[in-house]
Amino acid sequence: MVDIRRISTNRWWHKKKNWGLFIFLLFLFFVRISKGSLYKDLYFLISKPFWPGQFQREILTKSVEQEFFIKFKQLEKDNKRLREILSLKRLSDSESISATVISRKTGSWWRQIILNKGEKDGVEVGSFVVGPGGLLGRVNNTSLFTSSVILLTSPESKVGVWIERIQSHGLLVGLGNDYPKAIFYNKEVNIEVGDILLTSPASTLLPPNIPVGIIQSVDEELQAKKTANILLLGKPQAIDWVQILKVAI
């Protein structure tokens, strides 16, 4: 006798398999007509729990902030340099002569630069030269088309300076290296690291308050004077153009 229960079970099983195959084919059909969007949505739902959490977001946020900070600092430097250039360009043609650096000896004993302007352009010996950052040196020789400038670092250079904060005057002397010395003949003068040196208002040779340098260190006190090592603001090794201040008559 045929087992009716077994035949009924087999029919149900085959019917279930057919339905499963039908549903799978229907799923593939929807994937096909949706061009994969259904699959993408499904992947979206399945992968969502594994997305970057709060910790990862904090790391990414910090990286973005650092990127913006670096870009901001670079823009700040560029803005400062442009302001320095514009401040030099405010000098009128009657007060200065623009020139290009065509040769430089900034690391040798001579410490000088050569400019592309000379006697035919009105350059005179004794004229001071400024560039982005501040004072660079003084013209010590001219030809018809060129002029040579003794830099502030040269042993031949001596320039009157002062510190506005304490209203005290001194003398900047080149030593043949990158750091000239400022000499203050008042032993009691209260100079400090970070003080800014400017050209002296007492000088009749050049305009007052042109930036010169910053005090890097103060030497041990001497018996009759106080000296300091100076970091110059003008960088002749990197400057391509300058302005020559005409000698006052």
Instruction: Please classify residue 94 by burial: count the beta carbons closer than 10 Å to its beta carbon, then call 0-12 exposed, 13-18 middle and 19+ buried.
Output: exposed
pLDDT tens string 153-205: 999 999 999 998 888 999 999 998 989 999 998 878 889 999 999 998 888 78
**Computed over its alpha carbons, how large is the radius of gyration of the chain?**
38
Residue pair 191/208 in contact (Cβ under 8 Å)? The answer is no
Mean pLDDT over 207-221 rounds to: 87
Mean of pLDDT over the chain: 77
Written as one letter, the residue type at 89 is K
pLDDT tens string 134-154: 899 999 999 999 999 999 999
User: Binning pLDDT at 50, 70 and 90, where does residue 2 land?
Assistant: very low
Say which CATH architecture domain 95-249 belongs to. Beta Barrel (2.40)
pLDDT at position 51 over 90: no
Helix (H) / strand (E) containing 103? strand 96-105
| Two structure tokens written together for 36 | 């994969």
Residue pair 205/62 in contact (Cβ under 8 Å)? The answer is no
pLDDT of the residue at 159 = 93
Sign of the four-CA dihedral 167, 173, 175, 178: positive
